[in-house]
Amino acid sequence: MKWGTKYGPEYVNRLYAMVRRNLSGDFKFVCLTDDGTGIRPEVTCLPIPPLNLQLAPGQRDGAWKKLTTFEKDLHGLRGTALFLDVDVVIVGSLDAFFEYPGEFLIIKDYARPWRHGRITGNSSVYRFELGAHADVLAYFRDNMDKVQAEYRNEQTYLSAMLHKQGKLGYWPTAWCPSFKYHGIPTWPTNYWEEPFVPEGARIMVFHGECNPPDALAGRRNRTFRFIRPASWVAKFWKE
């Protein structure tokens, strides 16, 4: 999914190339977007379904649009869908993401002391059957103010809804590590050792302060958070 101007078409094009290199067999690659300009022809570009979002005070648009992937009829698409954030970097086979048992699978949100015991998933990578969770979107549309007052963002709401229904499951921890939390050497070794891909990783998740081109250039957008250039990004994040 791509909207606005933060991510250019090169993100979609490279994501497609990474999927093609790492997924066996045939698949349909879909980008829900408000602008398909410059996106390679192998990608099916479709409009993001209207959400008619009324933001509550203090809320940001953020990724609430992701909930539209749960339309009862999403442009007539059928089958199993693996949602990937446009800024992830695929570093291993994706086949197991379609084989792992579970009705709805998502990343278990990265463990931090203040998140202990939480059930929230990180929605950078999730798998579902198209049309199977339309109630999640319908409830949000009917209760936007209530949901935004209770939940910080779309992934906390989504996780809570599916947990209540007994449908929430998580990927194996090693599969989707965070670049920020798991791929940067600890201080002070970050000053002389490069960022790395943790053992067992299949998808590196970039969230918060750093995107793949920033990591490749050794940039972070927070003061006093130094990283060396992550040369491994060039090996995977390419067309």
Beta-ladder partners of 44:
30
Beta-ladder partners of 179:
none
Is-contact 98 80, C-beta < 8 A? Answer: yes
Cis previous bond, 50, omega within 30: no
Per-residue tokens: 44: 């099916």
Q: Where are the domains of the chain?
A: 9-87+127-171
As a whole-number percent, the residues of the chain with pLDDT over 90 amount to 83
Beta-ladder partners of 103:
none
Quick: pLDDT tens for 180-226. 999 999 989 999 999 999 999 999 999 877 899 999 999 876 655 88
Cα 42–chain centre separation? 21
Per-residue tokens: 190: 């970050």
pLDDT the model gives residue 194: 96
**Mean of pLDDT values over 12-21:** 98
**Considering the chain, what is the average pLDDT of its residues?**
92
Say if pTM beats, i.e. exceeds, 0.85.
yes
Q: Computed from CA positions of residues 101, 163, 177, 66, in that sequence, does the dihedral angle turn out positive or negative? A: positive
DSSP output for 197-231:
PPTT-SEEB--SS--HHHHHHT--SSTT------T
